[in-house]
Amino acid sequence: MPFLTEDGRPLDELLLAQRPADGDRFHVRAPFVYADPVTGRRYPVSTRPAGATPDGHDRVPGVTDLASVPMWLWSFIASYGRQSAPAILHDERSIVAAGLGDRRAALAQRRVDDRVFRTGLREQRVPLLRSWLMWAWVSADREREFGGAAGWLLIVQAVLGAVVALAASVLAFWQPWWLVALPVLVLASLPWRSLAPLVLVLTGSLAVLGPLVAVHLAALAPLRLIEAVVELVSGGDPRDVLRPTVAPPVAPPVEP
């Protein structure tokens, strides 16, 4: 089991504190280690440094939002579960990469760390497809943040490819030759070389999950609207229905 306690025992529990109690951040209460089975490298996860006061925007070691999945997608991938330890590790490694101070170095480091994240997900028995989807979307965010124009081009290609794949799949019911577009999309990903799998997973996930997410949101929106109306009538804040936790506007007091 690659997730271990500091003294080398298998990690059988994650000690976290939700601070503040109505916030969306969790403080790691006990450090742990991930032993990457691919390289043999050990990645430590620390506790929150004394005096650190995360405000929901700053990245602080030992403070995590678990898997950064929007609430409206929790029906597809939850923010916690078997993916919790890999998600906390990924948050920690993202802080390390961002702290390098060099965009290219951070990009290279994140590409390694994102692969470690995917490996950790599989080690935790997260299903194969879900692991690759989670890897693809954190990787897309990495390319957006550190990849510059090339990163944005990759994302745009994936989005346009998804539109083409979805349209071709629908049109193929009347004209099967539209399916020729699918191998063309595969060929179009090859110039990205080592990033070609990322382009293909992003394209495929958008093409397949896009319609499902649209249907899901169409069902979810009326419920949230009803909740907001009830909150408004009862004197509450309609914004509270947008997420189950509400980060406070002011940073909590510093704890020793």
Condensed to tens digits (0 to 9), the pLDDT of residues 65-118 reads 999 898 888 889 999 999 999 999 999 999 999 999 999 999 999 999 999 999
Q: Does pTM top 0.85 for this prediction? A: yes
Strand order in the sheet with 32-35: 3-5, 32-35, 42-45
Residues 223 and 103: their CA atoms lie apart, in Å, by 42
239 pLDDT band (50/70/90 cuts)? confident
Q: What mean pLDDT comes out for the span 31-44?
A: 96
CA angle 84, 205, 159 (to 5 degrees): 120
pLDDT the model gives residue 54: 55
Condensed to tens digits (0 to 9), the pLDDT of residues 241-254 reads 876 655 544 444 44
Q: What mean pLDDT comes out for the span 23-38?
A: 92
Q: What mean pLDDT comes out for the span 25-47?
A: 94
pLDDT the model gives residue 177: 96
226 pLDDT band (50/70/90 cuts)? very high
Count other Cβ atoms within 10 Å, centred on residue 185.
21
51 pLDDT band (50/70/90 cuts)? low
pLDDT the model gives residue 254: 47
pLDDT the model gives residue 55: 52
Q: Find tokens 């049109």 and name the residue.
A: 171
Predicted confidence (pLDDT) at residue 59 exceeds the cutoff of 50: yes
Residues 93 and 96: their CA atoms lie apart, in Å, by 5
Condensed to tens digits (0 to 9), the pLDDT of residues 229-238 reads 999 999 988 8
Mean pLDDT (the chain, rounded)? 90
Condensed to tens digits (0 to 9), the pLDDT of residues 179-215 reads 999 999 999 999 999 999 999 999 999 999 999 999 9
Condensed to tens digits (0 to 9), the pLDDT of residues 123-181 reads 999 999 999 999 999 999 999 999 999 999 999 999 999 999 999 999 999 999 999 99
pLDDT the model gives residue 24: 81
